[in-house]
Structure 1
Amino acid sequence: MTLRTNPSAPPTPVDGDRWFRRYAVRAAPRRRLLVLPHAGGSASFYHAWGTSFDDATEVMVARYPGRHDRLAEPCVETMDELADQVTAALLPHLDVPLTLFGHSMGASLAHEVALRLERAHGVRPAALHVSSRKPPHRLAPRTLHTEDDDALIAEVRRLGGTEDALLDDPDLREIVLPAIRGDFTIVGTYGPRAATPVGCPVHAHIGEEDPSTSVADMGAWADIAPAGFDLQVLPGGHFYLTRQHATLTGAIARQLATTG
């Protein structure tokens, strides 16, 4: 396997449907990696992932409604609706093995998409990677999405992962707040749910200083992983994946290399 290691080489997005930013590969892909962003996140946060894998792996990053080039579209506010829409958009891309990676809210979404692919379409993902999020049976309802803008911004700052300049500028904050509130509505109204297993191996990842999810919580994803489970604990907090990018994507790359 040859990894792309030149950080100065920009990833090359290719045109696709409105749901996914896709990155070019040199030949027909042998596998795909779908990245599902966190609450308030966008495809641009995962831009560097486009050049972090070998030339046989096509990387796709979900583009949720209500941000960037989908800014004019209303935000989705329930996990089931978002999972249904992402799954439907994935159907043309199931010709090669598919691995799912989701961070924070995206981890719950990845699990729900995996379940839908298996139950409704008879497609078992090659693997499910979940990051910085409790499994469905350990979640509890939250009401943060019903609080004022200052409370939302304070939580985003606490977790990190969003530039302070974006939150400090009143005009920019007005643009991003609807997506943040919509995503926190999804997070706050999802779970607890049954520990419904998936048919593929599950790989869990977490920063050891995460303020919202413990290592024990991530270990409980084993309850839905009869096909195999492992847990990677890395230095950092909720957004450990920024500083630990190479280590995290390296672990995912090793799993991807086993899928074809």
Structure 2
Amino acid sequence: MYESTARDRSNLWIRRFQPAPAAPSQLVCLSHAGGSAGYFLPVARAMPTSVDVLAVQYPGRQDRSGEPCVEDLHELADLLVRELEPWADRPFAFFGHSLGASLAFEAAVRLERAGIEVRGVVASGRRAPSRHREERVHLLDDRALIRDLERLSGTDPKMLRDPEILAMILPYIRSDYKAAELYRSRPGADSIQAPILVLTGDADPHVTDSEAAAWSEHTSGDFSRRVFSGGHFFLNDHALAIIPAIAEFIGANRELAGVK
């Protein structure tokens, strides 16, 4: 269970599965459409103690099922940053997959504007904020939406065959899809100073090489990219390589910042 400090008890957004209160950096983990904070439990367990992992639970799912989903990514970023402010005693880094990558970028934009240090953004499985596609999966009927989930292989097939589970998860999955598909970065707020590391799968139908490379346009800091074999959920098969890469990225940026 995550640490039950007063800060945690009052905050449904932040889950700390392996608290590291003395760590010099905090890694905020943001899940894909339909995902939850628990998706990052392996990340929290595998990260070195120099990184305090904060996994974010979006409204509208699991223990937050009684709350309305947030269908606008900019609104979600505003809400998230408000919840992160009490944690700003140490610098943040971000790790987001798919929808979470866009949200990580928008949160970093807002934190930097507020004068809060962001040490890096790891954007996984998502095209750059300036690269748009006309996608309307969120408007499909339930059967078509399920087929899309099956195609991406990111959801347990047993869940997709259980009517009761589907009744619980499809509403927030659809809302997340809407937020991701309608997202557009805002002119004048489409770049950060923090370095960006992009992770992609070589067979991901949602991210082309050019769409991934375009993330370099959204930072005045360092840009790097790593490509792995696999589709949209390539990271499920490459955790042993990806988690150390994230830790190294955060460590390298901490050294650049002059923190020992």
Structure 2 gaps of 5+ residues are none
Instruction: Tell me which residue corresponds to 1:35.
Output: 29
Contact 2:27 2:52 in 1 (8 A): yes
Contact 1:142 1:187 in 2 (8 A): no
Figure out how many residues of one structure are paired with residues of the other and give that number.
Answer: 248
Kindly, what percent of the aligned residue pairs are identical?
36
Instruction: Tell me which residue corresponds to 1:145.
Output: 138
Alignment of 1:1-260 (within 5 A): 12-15=1-4, 16=8, 17-25=11-19, 28-119=22-113, 121-191=114-184, 193-194=186-187, 196-258=190-252, 259=254, 260=259
Alpha-carbon distance, 1:115 to partner: 0.6
Q: TM-score by structure 2 length?
A: 0.91
Q: In the aligned structure 2, how far is the partner of 1:39 from the partner of 1:152? A: 12
Contact 1:200 1:227 in 2 (8 A): yes
Distance 1:168 1:57, change over 3 A: same
Matched to 1:198, the amino acid is I
Alpha-carbon distance, 1:27 to partner: 5.2
Alpha-carbon distance, 1:223 to partner: 0.7
Contact 1:130 1:202 in 2 (8 A): yes
Matched to 2:169, the amino acid is V
Alpha-carbon distance, 1:193 to partner: 4.9
Matched to 1:43, the amino acid is A
Matched to 1:20, the amino acid is I
Matched to 2:115, the amino acid is G
Q: In the aligned structure 2, how far is the partner of 1:202 from the partner of 1:243? A: 22
Q: Mean alpha-carbon deviation: is it higher for 208-217 or for 98-107? A: 208-217
Q: In the aligned structure 1, how far is the partner of 2:55 from the partner of 2:234? A: 19
- Secondary structure, counterpart of 1:23 in structure 2: coil
Contact 1:141 1:191 in 2 (8 A): no
RMSD value, Cα: 1.5
Alpha-carbon distance, 1:189 to partner: 1.4
Matched to 2:140, the amino acid is E
Q: TM-score by structure 1 length?
A: 0.91
Instruction: Tell me which residue corresponds to 1:6.
Output: none
Contact 1:140 1:192 in 2 (8 A): no
Contact 2:32 2:97 in 1 (8 A): yes
Q: Mean alpha-carbon deviation: is it higher for 210-219 or for 21-30? A: 21-30
- Secondary structure, counterpart of 1:138 in structure 2: coil
Q: In the aligned structure 2, how far is the partner of 1:26 from the partner of 1:130? A: 23
Structure 1 gaps of 5+ residues are 1-11
Contact 2:17 2:41 in 1 (8 A): no
Distance 1:239 1:72, change over 3 A: same
Runs of 4+ in 1 over 2 A off after TM superposition: 23-27, 191-195
Q: In the aligned structure 2, how far is the partner of 1:157 from the partner of 1:193? A: 32
Matched to 1:174, the amino acid is A
